[in-house]
Structure 1
Amino acid sequence: MSIPDRRDLIADAAISTVATAGLRGLTHRAVDAAAGLPAGSTSYYFRTRSALISACYLRLAELSVADADRWEADHGRPSDLDSAAGALAALLHHWLTAARDRQLARFELSLEATRRPELRADLQTAGLAARSRATALLAALGAPRPAPAADLLVAWTDGLLYDQLAGALAATRPLPDVTELTTVVRRMLEAALST
């Protein structure tokens, strides 16, 4: 296994650990166990807990961009409001289901960065990747001010994900299906395009 592969394996195991055990459960030893690596492997690649958390931020951003790239490769770049709503709804559905743990970890890690200034730069780098994608999408759809519209779209998307996964009613209601999400996303896009 090469060094980059080992780093990704460790970051993925750390993300999973945060999703299931919270930040209190994020230790080098716990990540070694989750990754199936010999004791000391995680601390070899990520000396401090802060370095491990930073690796999580960057890996989460990388995986989210890869999700969007994979959808685009399979279905083509969205070119109108309907295809964009369908694309984003499918992506949200993936994040609410198959990639649920990644989103839960992202929320927990984001809160940690508000309390630890040394972590903010990596969180910002991760956030800029999402905003860059949203800006490009909204520009392609004809938004008069795509960057501010992208900020709103990302905020709405994060709010929807948080509400569905960790909000007050998350445990008592079913997740929306792709059709329901497409309707909601279309409204979000329409509002963003009018900004």
Structure 2
Amino acid sequence: MSLPDRRDLIADAAISTVATAGLRGLTHRAVDAAAGLPAGSTSYYFRTRSALISACYLRLAELSVADVDRWEAEHGRPDPDSAAEALAALLHHWLTVERDRQIARFELSLEATRRPELRADLQTAGLAARSRAAALLAALGAPDPAAAADLLVAWTDGLLYDRLAGAMAATRPVPDASELTPVVRRMLTAVLSP
């Protein structure tokens, strides 16, 4: 396994560990076990817990951007009407198939509010998502793509958090893509307006 592949494997195992055991369960030993690697492997690549958390931030951003890129490759650059359906499908994917990844992302993000040394990598990860969103919104005709991307990312994070970890998350079923589409359509209309 090459060096980048091993780092991705470890970051993915760390993300999974956080999703199932929380940050208290994030240890080098636990990640070694989750990744199926010999003891000491995680600490070889990521010497400190902070380095491991930073790797999670960057990997989470990479995976989210890859999801958007895959969606775009499958659907092409949509018009504003079809974009609502496509984004709703992506949100549904994140609420179901990638549920654990999103939960880990929220928990890991909160850690940076208490540990200043983590903020730079969290910000780098956030900028990657916003940059990708801005490019898509520019293609859809947003008058200020950067501002529209900030709004869209914040709205998306709010919806994901509410449905996965919010006060009512345990009592409400995950909406399907057809239920999410009109909500997404309203948000896209708002961010694409001059």
TM band (smaller chain): over 0.9
- Which residue does the alignment assign to 1:65? 65
CA distance in 2, matches of 1:99, 1:158: 14
CA distance in 2, matches of 1:123, 1:134: 17
Q: Percent identity?
A: 90
- Which residue does the alignment assign to 1:16? 16
Q: What's the C-alpha RMSD, in Å, of the aligned pairs?
A: 0.9
Contact 2:77–2:139, Cα closer than 8 Å, also in 1: no
Letter in 2 for 1:11: A
In structure 1, list runs of 5 or more residues that go unmatched: none
- Which residue does the alignment assign to 2:75? 75
SS at match of 2:19: helix
CA distance in 1, matches of 2:111, 2:134: 26
Which stretch of the first structure deviates more once superposed, 124-133 or 9-18?
Answer: 124-133
CA distance in 2, matches of 1:125, 1:39: 30
- Which residue does the alignment assign to 2:48? 48
Question: What is the TM-score with the length of structure 1 in the denominator?
Answer: 0.97
CA distance in 1, matches of 2:27, 2:11: 12
Q: Count residues with an aligned counterpart.
A: 194
Letter in 2 for 1:83: S
CA distance in 1, matches of 2:148, 2:70: 24
Alignment of 1:1-195 (within 5 A): 1-78=1-78, 80-194=79-193
CA distance in 2, matches of 1:133, 1:186: 19
Letter in 2 for 1:55: A
Letter in 1 for 2:126: G
- Give, in angstroms, the shift of residue 194 of structure 1: 2.0
SS at match of 1:61: helix
Question: What is the TM-score with the length of structure 2 in the denominator?
Answer: 0.97
- Give, in angstroms, the shift of residue 13 of structure 1: 0.2
In structure 2, list runs of 5 or more residues that go unmatched: none
CA distance in 2, matches of 1:73, 1:145: 24
Which ranges of 4 or more aligned residues in structure 1 deviate by more than 2 Å? none
Q: For residues 41-67 of structure 1, give each alpha carbon's deviation from its aligned partner in whole angstroms, at most 9, with x where no partner exists.
A: 100110000000000000000000111
